[in-house]
Amino acid sequence: MRNLLRTLSVLTLVLSGTALLGPVACGGKTAKVPVMESLDAGPEPVDAEPPAPKTLYERVGGAEKLSAVVDGTLKGAAAHPKLKKSFAKITGPKLETLKKDLNDFLCEQMKGTCKYEGKDMRILTEAQWEPFVEVFVKALSDAGVGEAERDEALTLLTPLHDEMLPKKK
Ligand code: HEM
Q: Is 132 exposed, middle or buried (0-12, 13-18, 19+ CB in 10 A)?
A: buried
Q: Which tens digits make up the pLDDT trace of 8-41?
A: 444 444 444 444 433 333 333 444 444 454 555 5
Identify the structural domains of the chain with CATH numbers, from first to last.
62-164 (1.10.490.10)
Ligand 1 center to 144 CA (angstroms): 23
Of the ranges 34-38, 52-56, 66-70, 128-132, the best mean pLDDT one: 66-70
Determine if the pTM surpasses 0.85: no
- Residues in contact with ligand 1 (CB, 6 Å cut-off): 83, 86-87, 90, 94, 98, 101-102, 105, 118-119, 121-122, 124, 128-129, 132, 157, 160
- Residues contacting residue 58 through CB under 8 Å, at least 6 positions apart: 112
CB 143 within 8 A of CB 69: yes
Q: Which tens digits make up the pLDDT trace of 83-120?
A: 999 999 999 999 999 999 999 999 999 999 999 988 87
